[in-house]
Amino acid sequence: MPFHSSHLSFLFQKAMGKRRSASPSLRHSLWLVISISSFLFIFAILRLQYQPRHLPSARRPIVPFVGTPKIAFLFLARNNLPLDFLWQSFFQSADEDKFSVYIHSRPGFVFDESSTKCAFFYGRQLSKSVEVLWGESSMIQAEQLLLEAALQDHANQRFVLISDSCVPMYNFSYIYNYVMSSSKSFVDSFLDTKEGRYNPKMLPTIPKGKWRKGSQWITLVRRHAEIVVDDDLVFPIFKRYCKRRPPLDLDGKLNHQKVVQKEHNCIPDEHYMQTLLAMCDLEDELERRTLTYTEWNQSATKMEGQAWHPITFKYANASPQRINKIKGINHIYYETEYRTEWCQSNGTSVPCFLFARKFSRGAAMRLLSAGMVSPFDAAALLDQIK
Ligand SMILES: *[C@@H]1O[C@H](CO)[C@@H](O)[C@H](O)[C@H]1NC(C)=O
Ligand SMILES: *[C@@H]1O[C@H](CO)[C@@H](O)[C@H](O)[C@H]1NC(C)=O
Ligand SMILES: *[C@@H]1O[C@H](CO)[C@@H](O)[C@H](O)[C@H]1NC(C)=O
């Protein structure tokens, strides 16, 4: 016997207490009400699932800080910090109550007299550190660990990420005043219009409109550092969908499956912070540029079929003229947004870059001897030659 809608309504009437007197039109409207409410119910469930629920904005109370604010220098190292002699000289000319140092290196690496020439690095290695695979989400984890450790000290009000090949191009007081005079973070962030990095599987958590790209080397204000540390919504998505470029097979070719993966090889450290801050609607609180100069070798593209890579400054190409040229840059053009960023800090025109990478030891020594980082210190240089 075929199952009819009249049977359904009969069952329904039984369930409703055998109200056999209900007219056909009443029955009809009851059905209508039930269908509409089930639809609304399903719609509400879907909406709940598709709404970002845990964006970490404003989770912690804002506690105003009284006292001398510090800049936390957060070093991301593979092993040691080869430009330690330069940082020694840099920090030596600084007020000790205006900065702090945190280092993330490979687990087990200890900074002491035997491993570094910079006394400010002694014992500053995080006790909790992770094995970092360059270009993978473990890099972001290392950055989160650095921020988390530095947030413990309430005097830390700015957080600067520094690589092991990065140098300051100014003395401490100049950098301190520049960074502190702005209430904004410095985060290079722009629309990434090229297909391939954004993975549609990141929907609905990460909408395509919030996908950003930019330099890994950022400076954050305290509230933004808290947001990065508290994020348990966006980071897991990056961890899941952002993998580094697949390795070549033994015969030097990519197999097909790996090529498919590569289409969404999104390199978390060039996207995560920018995208998270955009998702939290905080772009008004950013100077959307980096403070760290990187020079790209464009000729490498065609020759090796790989992405641009940064040029390493050596003694020969780190002349004072070259450095001064970098220091003279006062604007940056962002092609994907047709945006020219005239570099400012708290509304005043400033040079765009305070730091530069990648520097060899020879190039760093030349910078030191030119007296750019601290008053010229012959003793420090002699110490290097010994
Ligand atoms: C730091 O550098 C700035 C700008 O280069 C300079 O004007 C200032 O005198 C320097 N300060 C010290 C303490 O060397
Ligand atoms: C920013 O500039 C304004 C006006 O020029 C000034 O009053 C304020 O103190 C500056 N902020 C900081 C943090 O230096
Ligand atoms: C740029 O890359 C090419 C190819 O890898 C290399 O031969 C050249 O030396 C690099 N230039 C600089 C300035 O590093």
Mean pLDDT of successive 10-residue stretches along the chain, which has 386 residues: 44 44 67 75 60 64 90 97 97 96 97 97 96 89 98 97 97 97 96 80 90 95 96 92 59 45 70 95 95 86 62 95 96 92 93 97 94 73 58
pLDDT at 53: 53
Cβ–Cβ < 8 Å for 219, 161: yes
- CA 193 to centroid of chain Cα atoms: 19
- Region label for 135, one of left (φ > 0), alpha (ψ between -120 and 50) or beta (otherwise): left
Closest atom of ligand 3 to 317 CA is 13
Cα–Cα distance measured from residue 214 to residue 18, given in angstroms and rounded to the nearest whole number: 67
Cα–Cα distance measured from residue 126 to residue 138, given in angstroms and rounded to the nearest whole number: 15
Q: How far is the CA of 213 from the centre of ligand 3 (A)?
A: 25
Tell me if the pTM is above 0.85: no
pLDDT at 133: 87
pLDDT at 5: 44
Mutational pocket test of ligand 3: of 297, 358, 360, the residue with most ligand atoms within 8 Å of the beta carbon: 297
Q: Are strands 185-186 and 156-163 parallel, antiparallel or unpaired?
A: unpaired
Q: How far is the CA of 19 from the centre of ligand 3 (A)?
A: 87
> Could you tell me the CA-to-CA distances from 319 to 192, 295, 329, 378 in Å, in that order?
34, 15, 16, 18
pLDDT at 298: 76
Residues 6+ positions from 340 with CB-CB distance below 8 Å: 331, 332, 333, 334
- Region label for 267, one of left (φ > 0), alpha (ψ between -120 and 50) or beta (otherwise): left
Q: How far is the CA of 301 from the centre of ligand 3 (A)?
A: 10
Among all chains, which residue has been given the structure tokens 């984890």? 141
In the numeric block, which tokens belong to residue 82? 């080869």
> Which residue's CA is the closest to the ligand 2 atom numbered 7?
346
Domains within the chain, CATH numbers bracketed: 70-291 (3.90.550)
